[in-house]
Amino acid sequence: MTDNPLVQDFATDWDHSDPQWVADPYPIWEDLRQRCPVAHTDRYGGGWFPATHAGVSEIAKDTTNFTSRNVVIGNGRPTELDLPAPIGVAPPITSDPPFHAIARRLILPAFAPGPINALEPMIRELCSKLLDTMAGEDVVNAGTQYAQYIPPSVIRGMLGFPEEDIEQFLEFVHIILEGIDHPEEERIIEFEPVEKYFVAQIEEHMDSPRDDLTSYLLNAELDGQNLALEHVFGTMVLILVAGIDTTWSAIGSAIWHLAHNPEDLARLVNEPDLMPVAIEEFLRFYAPVTMARLVKHDMEYQGCPMKEDDWILLGFPAANRDPVAFKDADKFIIDRAENRHVAFGLGIHRCAGSNLARLEMRVALEEFIKRYPRFELADSKAVTWAPGQIRGPRNLPIRILQ
């Protein structure tokens, strides 16, 4: 994707992997809102990008004209392999009504506030241990040494995979995240070791069920029958894909912000009760996740001639910066009281892991600033941002101040 020619005009040729978009997409989106609220591209086989809160909101809620069969933009138009409707490869995120509600209802109880809040001590201990490994260093990498490790470790624990498998598990996460937009034939080959490991874990859990997410999915019933193993496997992959670089990006962006906004850092250190409100502003201002849809049938939308299977890139982060929807939208206001941000999406596909993401963000930030009440960017030019649909800092060197 990065071999694509540089974009000259994002209104007619947008590309979410263009270096300018990756480095700083916000001015691009502001420009689009003013002159072309639904931008077009011929790249990736053709697609559209609504840049306003109203446009994103309308399309996110419209499951009649837009399908979720594929939510990650690939290198071309989707193929039949991408489209096993209505279940999709990773239910419920790739499912449409009516199957969507059934698949979603199965997983929501496991991600409701009750069971998620119970994970807080485990997450706190994990963060504390990660910080211990960084102790004594003047410059730490908040991306590669800290944020990156938190979500996979939490999810490994939730799935009930052995703790000693963590390195292997991190490697699988890498394979899945890197391969997500590879063609289906390549992905099948790349996924082989992942599938083998997951199937072994599933079988092991079938022999000796326990209180974890894998056993939960194996016990779940649809119409009085256990889920198809492909459904269990697909949902496990979804939990990995959706729950890792997303939250890791959100934690990293928040630390990046605090590293060059000392007044906000000081407020969080001195006013711990402000954290939940601050988390919502981090989520609004640095929303990491952009999701895709496909146009279901030829139609006109806001004067745009959309064709069946055109991509729609749903810019939740762009919606969050729309001045029509937010007062002082381009300002980070750490105690913003009214904040209807859409970082977790809108409508029936609201991020099922939002309670977990918020908990991980809160605990990760609380532990980080407790250990390091003062820090700054060690080298702002060395900070790199992930390309594509999940945005967050990957390399994030932080200098610890006394």
- For binding to another protein (CB under 8 A), which residues are involved? 105, 108-109, 111-114, 276, 280, 337-342, 344, 346-348, 350, 354-355, 358
Closer by beta carbon to another protein, 287 or else 377 = 287
Closer by beta carbon to another protein, 201 or else 235 = 235
Smallest gap from residue 341 Cβ to another protein (A): 7
Closer by beta carbon to another protein, 258 or else 343 = 343
Closer by beta carbon to another protein, 263 or else 338 = 338
Closer by beta carbon to another protein, 81 or else 112 = 112
Smallest gap from residue 355 Cβ to another protein (A): 6
Closer by beta carbon to another protein, 15 or else 322 = 322
Smallest gap from residue 393 Cβ to another protein (A): 25
Smallest gap from residue 108 Cβ to another protein (A): 4
Smallest gap from residue 338 Cβ to another protein (A): 4
Closer by beta carbon to another protein, 28 or else 268 = 268
d(CA 41, CA 168): 38
Smallest gap from residue 215 Cβ to another protein (A): 18
Smallest gap from residue 280 Cβ to another protein (A): 8
d(CA 322, CA 309): 27
